[in-house]
Amino acid sequence: MPPADDRRDRESDGAVLELQNVSFTYAARGGLLEAVANVDLTIDRGEFVCIVGPSGCGKTTLLRLMAGFILPTQGKVLDAGEPVRGPDWRRGMVFQQPYLYPWLTVLGNIEFGPRARGVPAAERARLVQGYLQMVKLEEFADRHTYELSGGMQQRVALARVLANEPHTLLMDEPFGALDALTREHMQDELLAVWRRTGATVVLVTHSVEEAVYLGTRVVACSHRPARIIAEIETCFSRTNGAGSQGRTIKADPEFVRLREQVLGYIWD
Ligand code: ADP
Ligand code: MG
């Protein structure tokens, strides 16, 4: 089980992820399609960065660049100063749909990464128990994932990535497929996980409200190709105690003002 205090030192300086003048062009059928243009972005350890922008502007492409699934056609992506050359367990990706292994139990899914990396059994058990508990699924450890609701499946997907102890969680509209109420609960659970682990989070969402609620910084992107048009510091996720305060915070005049400000950047 992970220690209660932050394993990663939030105080230590230095960027976790750095994008330097990054552009990406897809070679699509019969032509080129520029998805990301000249993005400069520095993400520090322990930050919670939310990326918003119009549909199809290049947000997923940006995350895939950070993950190392694709490499920039121009510019550099750096992880702790080192160029990203491919995917790495230390940068864990959570997708909109929880891609789980249906032939494995909840426990088996969470254990998959550490097992593949050769983590010894005792250490593996410790990790799995800790993260099962963190996402509140201890009672469901032996179930198959198809027996679970969408929200529970997404919690398994989160725990599965966390079991690799990534320094950064890359999340692509992770709650987009959930009903409104489950989504709000998941937001608070994610905040709790973020505080517990000290991990850096980069989350893409089409919900400006979600971004302002969760983020320590909101990055607003232009229409395709994605360029950064504004970066807005937010503070609600640092200060709120999570849980039932969520509704109050989202109705707070300062929250509403920031939400409208961010919306103003991406609204046409
Ligand atoms: P967003 O996540 O903001 O909706 P994406 O990053 O998924 O945007 O896509 C940006 C643009 O790149 C879109 O026009 C999309 O159609 C295009 N695109 C995405 N993936 C590919 C691909 N594999 N090949 C060609 N074009 C792609
Ligand atoms: Mg997308």
Domain containing residue 256: CATH number: 3.40.50.300
Q: Are residue 157 and residue 233 in the same domain, yes or no?
A: no
Q: Does a structural domain hold residue 134? A: yes
Distance 139 CA to ligand 2 centre (A): 33
Q: Are residue 73 and residue 174 in the same domain, yes or no?
A: yes
How do residues 116-155 score in pLDDT, each as one tens digit?
Answer: 999 999 999 999 999 999 999 999 999 999 999 999 999 9
Contacts of 167 (CB under 8 A, 6+ apart): 8, 16, 45, 80, 90, 91, 199, 200
Q: Is the CB of 26 under 6 A from ligand 1?
A: yes
How do residues 59-80 score in pLDDT, each as one tens digit?
Answer: 999 999 999 999 999 999 999 9
pLDDT at 238: 79
Return the residue whose CA atom lies nearest to atom 1 of ligand 1: 56
Residue that wins the pLDDT comparison between 29 and 268: 29
Distance 2 CA to ligand 2 centre (A): 32
Q: Say how many domains are in the chain.
A: 2
Q: Is the CB of 28 under 6 A from ligand 1?
A: yes
8 pLDDT above the threshold of 60: no
11 pLDDT above the threshold of 80: no
Q: Are residue 49 and residue 134 in the same domain, yes or no?
A: no
Q: Is the CB of 159 under 6 A from ligand 1?
A: no
Q: Is the CB of 224 under 6 A from ligand 1?
A: yes
At 1, is the pLDDT very low, low, confident or very high (cuts 50, 70, 90)? very low
Q: Are residue 122 and residue 9 in the same domain, yes or no?
A: no
Q: Are residue 121 and residue 203 in the same domain, yes or no?
A: no
* Residue linked to tokens 């799995």: 128
pLDDT at 122: 96
Q: What angle do CA 174, 153, 45 make, to 5 degrees?
A: 45
Q: Does a structural domain hold residue 180? A: yes
For a substitution probing ligand 1, which of 52, 60, 204 has the most ligand atoms within 8 Å of its CB?
60
Q: Are residue 187 and residue 254 in the same domain, yes or no?
A: yes
> Residue 80 CB: number of other CB atoms within 10 A?
13
Q: Is the CB of 32 under 6 A from ligand 1?
A: no
Residue 111 is encoded by which pair of tokens?
Answer: 């254990």
Distance 17 CA to ligand 1 centre (A): 22
Return the residue whose CA atom lies nearest to atom 10 of ligand 1: 58
Last residue in a domain, options 112, 143, 165: 165
**In this structure, which ligand is nearest to the CA of 171?**
2
Q: How far apart (Å, rounded) are the C-alpha atoms in residues 160 and 114?
A: 9
Please compute the mean of the pLDDT values over residues 175-190 and round it to a whole number.
90
Residue 135 lies in domain:
100-165
pTM of the model: 0.92
Q: Is the CB of 61 under 6 A from ligand 1?
A: yes
**In this structure, which ligand is nearest to the CA of 26?**
1
Q: Are residue 86 and residue 184 in the same domain, yes or no?
A: yes
At 9, is the pLDDT very low, low, confident or very high (cuts 50, 70, 90)? very low
Return the residue whose CA atom lies nearest to atom 19 of ligand 1: 61
Q: How far apart (Å, rounded) are the C-alpha atoms in residues 174 and 151?
A: 10
Please compute the mean of the pLDDT values over residues 82-93 and round it to a whole number.
96
Contacts of 122 (CB under 8 A, 6+ apart): none
At 240, is the pLDDT very low, low, confident or very high (cuts 50, 70, 90)? low
Q: Does a structural domain hold residue 95? A: no
Atom of ligand 1 nearest to the CA of 63: 6
13 pLDDT above the threshold of 70: no
Last residue in a domain, options 137, 165, 193: 165
Q: Are residue 152 and residue 107 in the same domain, yes or no?
A: yes
